[in-house]
Structure 1
Amino acid sequence: MTTQPVLVSHALCPYVQRAAIVLKEKGVPFIRRDIDLADKPDWFLDVSPLGKTPVLLVEDTPIFESAVICDYLDEVFAPRLHPEDPLQRARHRAWVEFGSAMLNAIAGFYSAPDEDGLQRAAAALRRRFVQLEAALDSAPYFAGGCFSIVDAAFGPVFRYFDVFDRIGNFGFLDGLSRVQAWRAALAARDSVKAAVSRDYEDLLAAFLMQRGSALSARMRASSATLREAMH
């Protein structure tokens, strides 16, 4: 490869974070180019048939969809992050898809229009985490001591809850010790920390506030309470 790959990104996109984490784990230098998904440039639409991030530009070839990008990187660059055994590799890919389903559930949570919907969405997320707890039988990562692409997929999942936990106590991880330990291990990983900008949490909080959702209303109420307490 004669030039550095370009990761076409959005500052809040969790799927971009997956690719950034894998690139960092493999020590691959890359250029990150953020775009505004609300005002997509023409060149982006030319390289992203689905109009979504991430896109990895390798020489003149665009690769889109985060799972495909991560699998490509795992085939080309060491160290391998997927298991060598085909059955275990398929299992890992399945749990990456489970991570995508969790991101959809997270979007349903922060977009819920009213309190009833918010509580239902919170309960649905809790059920997903209970499933994860049953699947985790080692530490500190999904496959024990080896960081894998499953871990790269779930680092961005857990990052949302750093902000959610500041808004209220929804009990997502109560009593789920293995999931809690996995979350902490991923949060401490250099590649996971480096996958977002320093102002990521502020950007995410601003995005959530603007949703006009039940969670947004909770955030506004919390802000008002804090301002009253300071006066």
Structure 2
Amino acid sequence: MTIPILYSLRQCPYAMRARLAILYAGQTVVLRDVDMMNKPKEMLSISPKGTVPVLHFEDTVIEESVDVMLWTLTQSDPRNLLYHHDLLQLPLMLDLIQKSDSEFVQILQKYRAASRYHDDNEMEYRDKCVEWLSDIEERLSKHTFIMGESASIVDYALLPFIRQFSRVDKKWYNIAPLPHLRAWLVRHYNDPIFSKAMTIYPKWNRDAEPVIFG
């Protein structure tokens, strides 16, 4: 079997999810960090929507970040991120990820835009983000990770977006009423795998040497 190809973008939170899952699964891919202003024809030919991540292997194309995570962890899950010991947890975890994507991420985008353009609604959107994150804060007050004492797919699916949230107004974030969330985020930052997921690679072009990632 040929090594899967992952089209990615370092700072894209959805692509970040995919890279984290690949690393925690101990999988290997050929990483192509793309220039989104000059999207490669190779990627567009298999995924016309033109967003990352895209995982391509043999005759299969996976275009959604959570699907990439699930496929990768289904192949190998040495850290039990899918909570195989409790099969009832997976639907609950996927539901929480879906809610984050459809609710929190939408508010977060408005908060980031309001901060960037000095919109008067910035505080309103920030408060709505905090309101949504209050459930995550409560969970983290009870155990080390979002779903329990060990990390799960939820932690790594939400991590890139909570990271974005923390960076909008760093001074405020450092005193925000989210102490357990801050500790959780620092724990991830201190994990060498997170640093590896955020390694900078040259933008891919068809003449470049392949980057083996994993």
What are the within-5 Å matches in structure 2 for residues 26-175 of structure 1?
Answer: 26-79=25-78, 80-84=80-84, 85-100=86-101, 101-112=103-114, 113-136=117-140, 138-161=142-165, 163-166=167-170, 168-169=171-172, 171=173, 174-175=176-177
Cα RMSD for the two superposed structures: 2.3
> Gaps spanning 5+ residues in structure 2: where?
202-214
1:34 deviates by 1.2
Q: Which amino acid aligns with 2:178?
A: L
> Are the equivalent residues in 1 in contact too, given 2:47–2:63 (CA < 8 A)?
yes
Rg bigger for which structure? 1
Distance 1:34 1:7 in 2: 8
| Aligned 1:170-185 pairs, distance under 5 A | 171=173, 174-185=176-187
Instruction: Report the CA distance between 1:173 and its aligned residue.
Output: 6.6
User: Which of 196, 205, 217 is 2:198 aligned to?
Assistant: 196
**Can you list the C-alpha shifts for 1:26-64, whole angstroms capped at 9, x where unaligned?**
111222101122332222222224321101112342111
The two structures have a TM-score, normalised by structure 1, of: 0.75
Q: Which runs of 5+ in 1 are unaligned?
A: 200-231
- 8 Å CA contact 2:27–2:72 kept in 1: the answer is no
For residues 198-231 of structure 1, give each alpha carbon's deviation from its aligned partner in whole angstroms, at most 9, with x where no partner exists.
Answer: 59xxxxxxxxxxxxxxxxxxxxxxxxxxxxxxxx
Aligned residue pairs, count: 196
Equivalent residue of 1:115, what SS? Answer: coil
Distance 1:45 1:12 in 2: 20
The match for 1:17 is 16
Query: What is the letter of the counterpart of residue 144 of structure 1?
Result: G
Correspondence for 1:187 among 180, 186, 189: 189
TM-score, normalising length: structure 2: 0.80
Structure 1 residue 196, shift from structure 2 partner: 1.6
In the alignment, the residues of structure 2 paired with residue 182 and residue 98 of structure 1 have an alpha-carbon distance, to the nearest angstrom, of 20
Measured against aligned partners, the alpha-carbon deviations of 1:164-215 in whole angstroms (never above 9, x if no partner) come to 344x42x58723232222222222222222222359xxxxxxxxxxxxxxxx
Identity %, equivalent residues: 26
Structure scoring higher RCO (CA < 8 A, sep ≥ 6) equals 2
